[in-house]
């Protein structure tokens, strides 16, 4: 085990972590391709430095398959379509299966008609929103992806949660190998970050979460139990109502447009897998910049370079472009060939391996 700050970390070969996650999903009945695609989504989150959406999420999917809340081997189907839109029933498959299906349709429509807007109902958790937007960007398009989630966001002035952490993402191809990559929860942080603080036994920064009385708390365990996150921006004085508005916008594109469960009607978030089908809604958009002014990629690169070259307020913290943190983290992961997990995750993975009779994840020796 290595130490990062006070936290004990263990390294696992990236391929081995992918193998383990795939095996766990296959062990509970997911077909090879579905298991592989879901595991690839998870390992990408660990690779780019969003561990909250990597291995950390595996047990949730496993439990949903075991309980029958998710049916990994169903087929998603198109319910309605036009030249530029499609409405899809995920038919309760894993989030990655339907997200590939839906974004492929959005990309095809954007290539043919300039824009593809796809709305999905009947789905399950689909991880990092940016993973899906990037899929369109890799084809030269501007990609956008949104999803609703279980209620966890307390609208400004509310004691209770009524919207999800509802992430939004926009990924766009720039010139000279640059990419604009914005992928963000509309709460101050994703709930997985509270879990990670709990796993690390660390306090929460201000502005992340509320206690049962609707007051801000720094206690990760209490915050997790209460399940009431603050919107992006925090309290009303710091414009948290804008995060609330963005979460509502994502809900409009996802649950309200697709006819899936929405907002306060979505099952509460838990690891137990006993809440019945999630019936989540997603939205995928692909847009062809070639339909507009020539030089999109060059202008975008000009902005990205300009932002990075701005004089930083603190010389030791250079200004970043959206996506720089993830890119840097991915480069480091790839150079090492390993992903790092906190000790508690290694222990719970070992317990999961035992439960599912899967070969446990092999931890690399300490260096
Ligand atoms: N599927 C779900 O239910 C769900 C729900 C919520 C969040 N998520 C995912 O959780 C992940 C984490 O979300 P988050 O909101 O905690 O991310 P975050 O706050 O770490 O980053 C948000 C965005 O800000 C950018 N960024 C970070 N620091 C920056 C800086 N100094 N300068 C410029 N840009 C900077 C990042 O590149 C990223 O695009 C995302 O992948 C999101 O899609 C998924």
Q: How far is the CA of 185 from the centre of ligand 1 (A)?
A: 6
Q: Is the pLDDT confidence value at 6 over 90? A: no
Query: Do residues 89 and 242 make contact, with C-beta atoms less than 8 angstroms apart?
Result: no
Q: What is the torsional sign of CA 282, 94, 360, 353?
A: positive
Q: Is the pLDDT of residue 89 over 60?
A: yes
* Average of per-residue pLDDT across 303-331: 98
Pocket test for ligand 1, best of 146, 167, 230, 246 (most atoms within 8 A of CB): 167
Q: What average pLDDT does the segment 238-248 reach? A: 97
With pLDDT > 70 as the criterion, what percentage of the chain qualifies? 96
Residue 273: pLDDT band by 50, 70, 90 thresholds?
A: low
253 with 136: CB under 8 angstroms? no
Confidence of residue 1 (pLDDT cuts 50, 70, 90): very low
- pLDDT mean across residues, the chain: 95
CA of 184 to the centre of ligand 1 (A): 4
Measured by CA distance, the residue closest to atom 3 of ligand 1 is 149
Q: How far is the CA of 137 from the centre of ligand 1 (A)?
A: 17
Output the CA 165–ligand 1 centroid distance in Å.
11
pLDDT at 2: 47
Of the pLDDT bands very low, low, confident and very high (cuts 50, 70, 90), residue 113 is very high
Q: 195: pLDDT confidence band, cut at 50, 70 and 90?
A: confident
**232/148 Cα distance (integer angstroms):** 15
Mutate to test the pocket of ligand 1, among 190, 247, 263 (most ligand atoms within 8 A of CB): 190
**H or E stretch at 226:** helix 220-226
The distance of Cα 72 from the centroid of its chain, to the nearest Å, equals: 19
**Gap between the Cα atoms of 309 and 72, Å rounded:** 46
Residue 131, pLDDT above cutoff 80: yes
Domains and CATH numbers, the chain: 1-67+337-367 (1.10.1530.10), 75-188+237-296 (3.30.1370.60), 193-228 (3.30.60)
At 332 the pLDDT is 97
Residue 268 is predicted with a pLDDT of 85
Give the atom of ligand 1 at the shortest distance from the alpha carbon of 187.
15
Residue pair 192/128 in contact (Cβ under 8 Å)? The answer is no
Ligand 1: residue of 325, 327, 331 to mutate (most ligand atoms within 8 A of CB) is 325
Ligand 1: list residues with CB < 6 Å: 50, 53, 125-130, 147, 149, 165, 167, 169, 181-185, 189-190, 193, 320, 322-323, 325-326
Of 210, 204, 222, 136, nearest in space to 171 by CA: 136
Q: Which ligand 1 atom minimizes the distance to the CA of 186?
A: 15
How far apart, in whole angstroms, are the C-alpha atoms of residue 106 and residue 350? 39
Percent of the chain with pLDDT over 90: 90
- Render pLDDT for 39-80 as a digit per residue (tens, 0 to 9): 999 999 999 999 989 999 999 999 999 999 999 999 999 999
């Amino acid at each position: 085990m290595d130490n990062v700050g006070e936290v004990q970390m263990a390294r696992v070969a990236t391929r081995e972590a992918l193998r383990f996650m795939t095996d766990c999903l296959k062990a509970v009945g997911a077909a090879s391709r579905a298991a592989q695609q879901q595991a690839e989504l998870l390992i990408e989150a660990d690779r780019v430095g969003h561990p909250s959406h990597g291995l950390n999420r595996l047990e949730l999917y496993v439990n949903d398959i075991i309980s029958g809340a998710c049916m990994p081997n169903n087929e998603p189907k198109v319910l309605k379509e036009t030249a530029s839109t499609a409405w899809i029933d995920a038919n309760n498959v894993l989030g990655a299966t339907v997200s590939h299906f839906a974004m492929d349709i959005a990309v095809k429509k954007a290539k043919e008609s300039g824009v593809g807007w796809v709305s999905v109902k009947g789905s399950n958790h689909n991880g990092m929103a940016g993973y899906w937007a990037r899929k369109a960007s890799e084809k030269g398009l501007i990609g956008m992806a949104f999803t609703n989630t279980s209620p966890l966001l307390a609208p400004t002035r509310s004691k209770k949660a009524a919207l999800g952490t509802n992430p939004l993402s926009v990924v766009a191809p720039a010139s000279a190998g640059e990419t604009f990559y914005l992928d963000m929860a509309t709460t101050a942080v994703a709930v997985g970050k509270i879990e990670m603080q709990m796993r690390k036994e660390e306090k929460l920064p201000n502005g992340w979460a509320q206690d049962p009385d609707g007051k801000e708390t720094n206690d990760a365990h209490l915050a997790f139990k209460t399940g009431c996150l603050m919107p992006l921006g925090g309290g009303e004085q710091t414009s948290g109502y804008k995060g609330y508005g963005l979460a509502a916008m994502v809900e409009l594109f996802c649950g309200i447009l697709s006819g899936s469960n929405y907002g306060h009607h979505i099952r509460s978030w838990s690891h137990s897998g006993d809440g019945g089908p999630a019936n989540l809604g997603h939205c995928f958009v692909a847009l062809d910049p070639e339909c507009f002014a020539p030089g999109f990629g060059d202008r975008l690169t000009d902005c990205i370079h300009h932002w990075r070259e701005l004089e930083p307020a603190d010389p030791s913290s250079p200004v970043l472009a959206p996506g720089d943190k993830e890119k840097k983290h991915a480069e480091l992961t790839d150079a090492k060939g390993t992903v790092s997990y906190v000790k508690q995750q290694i222990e719970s993975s070992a317990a999961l391996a035992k439960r599912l009779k899967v070969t446990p994840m092999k931890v690399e020796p300490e260096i």
